[in-house]
Amino acid sequence: MESHVEKQNRDVLQKSFEEMIFTLPKVNFWGLPLDLYQYQGFWLTLPFLQGALSAQQQFQAQPTDIILCSSLRTGTTWLKSLTFTTIARTSYNDSTTPLLSKVPHDVVPYMEFDHAQFSTNRHLGSPLLATHLPYSFLPRSIIDSGCKLIYICRDPKDTFVSFYHFIAKYSKSLDTQIIQLDEAFELFYEGVSMYGSYWDHVLGYWKASLEHPDKLMFLKYEDLVENTVLYLKKIAEFIGYPFSSKEQQEGVPENIVQMCSFENLSGLEVNKIGKHRAGQGNLEVENNIFFRKGKVGDWKNYLTTEMSQRLDQRTLQKLSGSGLSL
């Protein structure tokens, strides 16, 4: 239960937040009945900005935490399932795993959303948390605690196409008109998208991974697709849950990969008909929004040659000198 002092503190924070947001640049979010606010170089909607600031003020990381970091539509759902199944492999099997009854987003909560306001009551049963926050937004305690972070990114062309479909589906559920692809493209190109600019998001984590390779593992969706078992083993090792030789001989990593495959997860009843954040107004989405095609290169079906070349040029220019290619 929240104490009187805690409530007073929350009211003060709410008031200063409301005053602060008036000072921020604001644009409509891709035709949705929502706005994006630019805060410290990135665009966020209000609930997520508020969550980010609460997390910065209140979130207390534990050294044993494992934080899964990503921008939108780059493989978060998959990474959540793989890491959760790896960590919980001695507690659950294929017929008892919570992934059978919950979408991966309900199994691994968002730090800035699900935990920000009640960090002291944190459920410490699982070390896993996720965040979409840019690296520069992370609460100080994450850096100071020395906990492990994994970042997953993806080809900007596929990220954009996946995000566009997400927005189109979401618009439909809100009964609002769907933004045209070329209009959305220009906004994404200019960095005006949720947690955008996408390239700056990626670069923040990329640079941090170069500085702290023992703390931050940097992954690409395409690599994970190409050799899921190999990367799962690397992930398990990195987070301190390595597969023993016996487990490897028994095919445990392969089994986890199969359990978390797009085909398997997208076919589960919960992911076909369930809802995420049910009853939370326009935050509610259908679980199947997290599973579309799960392919590399689907952009070819949506972007013109000119669009793809422009996005590639943008990527080259933004990542130039960083040592990273996407």
Using alpha carbons, select from 149, 150, 136 the residue that is nearest to residue 195.
136
Quick check: 73 and 155 in contact, CB under 8 A? no
Minimum distance between the CB of residue 283 and ligand PAP, rounded to whole angstroms? 12
Between the alpha carbon of residue 208 and those of residues 144, 175, 323, the distances in Å are 14, 41, 13
Binding site for ligand PAP (CB under 6 A): 70, 72-78, 158, 162, 165-166, 260-262, 265, 290-294, 298
How many angstroms separate the CA atoms of 219 and 92, rounded? 26
Residues 6 or more apart whose CB falls under 8 angstroms from that of 196 comprise: 42, 43, 71, 188
- Whose Cβ is closer to ligand PAP: residue 58's or residue 231's? 231
- Whose Cβ is closer to ligand PAP: residue 17's or residue 166's? 166
- Whose Cβ is closer to ligand PAP: residue 58's or residue 79's? 79
How many angstroms separate the CA atoms of 199 and 141, rounded? 25
**Residue 123 annotated as catalytic:** no
Minimum distance between the CB of residue 10 and ligand PAP, rounded to whole angstroms? 28
- Whose Cβ is closer to ligand PAP: residue 103's or residue 252's? 103
Quick check: 129 and 108 in contact, CB under 8 A? yes
Determine which one of 105, 132, 201, 276 is catalytic: 132
Q: Which two tokens stand for residue 287?
A: 């679980």
Minimum distance between the CB of residue 56 and ligand PAP, rounded to whole angstroms? 21
Minimum distance between the CB of residue 226 and ligand PAP, rounded to whole angstroms? 12
- Whose Cβ is closer to ligand PAP: residue 58's or residue 170's? 170
Minimum distance between the CB of residue 140 and ligand PAP, rounded to whole angstroms? 25
Cα radius of gyration (the chain): 20
Between the alpha carbon of residue 8 and those of residues 4, 11, 21, 117, 133, the distances in Å are 6, 5, 20, 14, 27
Minimum distance between the CB of residue 323 and ligand PAP, rounded to whole angstroms? 24
- How many helices and strands (H and E) does the chain possess? 15, 9
The three-state secondary structure class of 116 is helix
Q: Which two tokens stand for residue 210?
A: 């170069």
- Whose Cβ is closer to ligand PAP: residue 58's or residue 155's? 155
> What are the residue numbers of the active site?
132
